[in-house]
Amino acid sequence: MKIWPIFKKEMLLYFTSPVAYVVFTIFLLIVGYFFYSIFAFFTVASMQAAMNPAMGRDLNVTDGVMRPLFSEERKSGTIELLLTYPVRDGAVLVAKYLAALTLYALMLFLTLLYPAIVAYFARLELGPLVTGYLGLVLMGGAFLAVGVLASSLTENQIVAAVSTFGVLLLFWIIGWSADNAGGVLGKVLAHLSIIDHYDGFAKGVIDTRDLIYYVNFIALALFLTLRSLESRRWNG
């Protein structure tokens, strides 16, 4: 599997084009704002509170990260070269996904600045911080997987971004209707909700069901992406 060279190329492209810097800056500003408002209003810096709005930021940022994934390659035609090199479609996909995930993880890493500031003024609970970040990586990973899928389906980056947003929003608000539905349906909906699975992480609890949910979610989205890449080989 020639994942490494493609991974390197993706990272190189992230950092030679303005993408990474723009996304980083926006991300940090938004996180900083949330953090500031929480810090200022409650004065008690509870990581749990800071972690929840983190979800809101993810939506805006993930489409910046996944933008260059497949839509861009389709639009510029470079995909025709990439997919005729002696590399399996799956390797291309994994490399691209890992690159996006790495960029996202780097951004999360930068946000550690904020808890660090808090820790300077107050005692910080390490447990929820660590699990909270793990949860953010998983949830962001799920968002990115949807982004990869959307970007493989269309060469229009706007369409890709909007449909990603739509799908994620759907999985997000499913949780709300779960509360109203109640009963078995409510349970099923709650299980599908991408947000509900995050709650545990924010509270410092790692539940295997949540882990499995995110891993399955990512695997399914990547599997569908692979199919969509391969589909050009079917319609002969």
Partner 1 sequence: MIEVRNLTKHYGPIAAINNVSFGVERGEVVGFLGPNGAGKSTTMRILSCFMPASSGSAKVAGYDVFSQSMEVRRRIGYLPENVPLYSDMRVAPYLDFVAEVKGIGRSERRRRVAEVMDRCLIADVQNRLIGRLSKGYRQRVGIAQAIVSDPEVLILDEPTLGLDPKQITEIRSLIKSLAGRHTVILSTHILPEVSMVCSAGRAVLPDGARPSPGGGPTRRGQRRDRPDPGRAARRAAGDERRRRDVRGGGPAEPRREVGDLPARGRPEVDAARTAA
Q: Which residues bind partner 1 (CB under 8 A)?
A: 2, 5-6, 8-9, 12-13, 16-17, 76-81, 83-88, 232-234, 236
Minimum distance from CB of 98 to partner 1 (Å)?
A: 16
Type of residue at 88: R
Look at residue 95 and give its three-state secondary structure.
helix
Minimum CB–partner distance for residue 104 and partner 1 (Å): 20
Residue 48 and residue 134 in contact, taking contact as beta carbons nearer than 8 Å: no
Least separation, in Å, of the C-beta of 9 and partner 1? Answer: 5
Judged by beta carbon, residue 74 or residue 197, the one nearer partner 1 is: 74
Nearest to 201 by CA among 142, 146, 123: 142
CB of 61: closest distance to partner 1 in angstroms? 20
In the complex with partner 1, the residue whose CB is nearer, 67 or 197, is 67
Q: Alpha carbon 154 to chain centroid distance?
A: 19
| 49 contacts: CB under 8 Å, gap ≥ 6 | 38, 42
Residues constituting the chain? 236
Nearer to partner 1, 85 or 121 (CB): 85
Taking CA 20 as the corner, what is the angle to CA 133 and CA 145, rounded to the nearest 5 degrees?
Answer: 55
Q: Which is nearer to partner 1, 45 or 79 (CB)?
A: 79
Nearer to partner 1, 92 or 174 (CB): 92
Nearest approach, Cβ of residue 184 and partner 1 (Å): 44
Q: How far apart are CA 151 and CA 223, in angstroms?
A: 14
